[in-house]
Structure 1
Amino acid sequence: MITKEMSITDIVEQYPKTIEVLLGYGMHCFGCMAARFENIEEGALAHGIDVDKLMIDLNKAAN
């Protein structure tokens, strides 16, 4: 299960199918340095994305 506290890098490494979800939300940051230090909640907020909706979509892709 993906949580808001997980780093973006950890998410895409553990669940590669989530890359498409992130791209769909306009989050291309999984390859940048911030992805290692930022959790998914911080990244979503920085992009003006609804965190709860993103989490639902990420977890659907991960399963």
Structure 2
Amino acid sequence: MAEKITKDSVIGHVINDVPGAKDVIEKYFGNGCFTCPGINMESISFGSMMHNMDPQKIVDEINSLGG
């Protein structure tokens, strides 16, 4: 993994850059993200706010995928 994912990372970039991240996003946000045009502009922080989730929990889980 080239760079560490943060809560400001764009969801679409994370899904493309981190193997397994799509499963984490789907777990917390559902699969609606994948058809939303905002996926390429909206951050994990924004998505977390929209879904009433803790962004740090999602970021930590995605970063743990890089092993």
| Coarse TM-score class (shorter-chain normalised) | 0.7 to 0.9
Q: Superposition pairs for residues 2-17 of structure 1, below 5 Å? A: 2-17=5-20
Unaligned runs of 5+ in 1: none
* Contact 2:29 2:47 survives alignment (8 Å): no
Q: Kindly tell me the number of residue pairs found equivalent between the two proteins.
A: 63
Instruction: Give the counterpart letter for 2:65 in structure 1.
Output: A
CA drift at 1:62: 3.2
Per the normalisation by structure 2, the TM-score is 0.80
Segment of structure 1 superposing worse, 19-28 or 4-13: 19-28
Between structure 1 and structure 2, the one with the greater Rg is 2
User: Does the residue aligned with 1:59 lie in a helix, a strand or coil?
Assistant: helix
Q: Which among 38, 47, 57 is matched to residue 53 of structure 1? A: 57
Unaligned runs of 5+ in 2: none
State the identity %: 27
After the TM superposition, which parts of structure 1 deviate over 4 Å for at least 4 consecutive aligned residues? none
**Root-mean-square deviation (Å):** 1.4
